[in-house]
Amino acid sequence: MDPVNIIVLINIIATFGANITGAKSGLKSTVAEIKEKPKTFLQKFPPVVSTLSLIALILAAFQIGTLEYIEEYNIIRYIGLALYLIFSWFQVWSFKTLGDNYSQDIMIKKKHELITKGPFKVIRHPQYFCQILVDIGGVMATLSYILSGFVLIEIPIYIMRALVEDKLLARHFGDQFEQYKKKSGFFFPFIG
């Protein structure tokens, strides 16, 4: 098996475990804890796309749905691997920073806090930004044309989802969110 693909598979297992432990407290949400949860297709569609992109990446690690690996592509693959590894762990940090505020759904909990530390100090939606970069890195590392299709779907979906979250946070945190918004970027530090 290709060494880059072995590293990708090992990282999938490692980050999966880290994400579960980082998000487990937020996954325990009950209906009684929810203050507001908008009804939108952006609740379930992005997690489905993420799951399908993960499946595409796993298949790509076994060279299913990939271009042929030739030496001329090695630099692209190594850069992609670095991008994939760095931002997959940056995403884990994002989930761990959210703690009890983490939820797979867009919602405000009754004891919700506005998180402005860690990666959220400079970017309001690091988890979505990282997911896009992880998948772009995965495309480059494995040369997966299947995964590249999911990246094209993810970009507008995550931007729309982040906009919905911004509106929800603005409604519930008012001036506190507006001040935070002035100091942080939407997806990129200090931009948007």
Q: Give the per-residue pLDDT at 84.
A: 98
Q: How confident is the model at residue 30 (pLDDT cuts 50, 70, 90)?
A: low
Mind listing the pLDDT tens digit for each residue in 125-157? 999 999 999 999 999 999 999 999 999 999 999
Q: Give the per-residue pLDDT at 17.
A: 77
Q: Give all domains of the chain, ordered by start, each with its CATH number.
A: 3-12+40-183 (1.20.120.1630)
Mean pLDDT, the chain, rounded, equals 90
Q: How confident is the model at residue 34 (pLDDT cuts 50, 70, 90)?
A: confident
Least confident of 30-39, 64-73, 180-189: 30-39
SS3 assignment for the chain = CCHHHHHHHHHHHHHHHHHHHHHHHHHCCCHHHEEECCCCCCCCHHHHHHHHHHHHHHHHHCCCCECCCCHHHHHHHHHHHHHHHHHHHHHHHHHHHHHHHCCCCCCEECCCCCCCCHHHHCECCHHHHHHHHHHHHHHHHHCEHHHHHHHHHHHHHHHHHHHHHHHHHHHHHHHHHHHHHHHCECCECCEC
The pTM for the full model equals: 0.90
Mean pLDDT of 61-80: 96
Q: How confident is the model at residue 56 (pLDDT cuts 50, 70, 90)?
A: very high
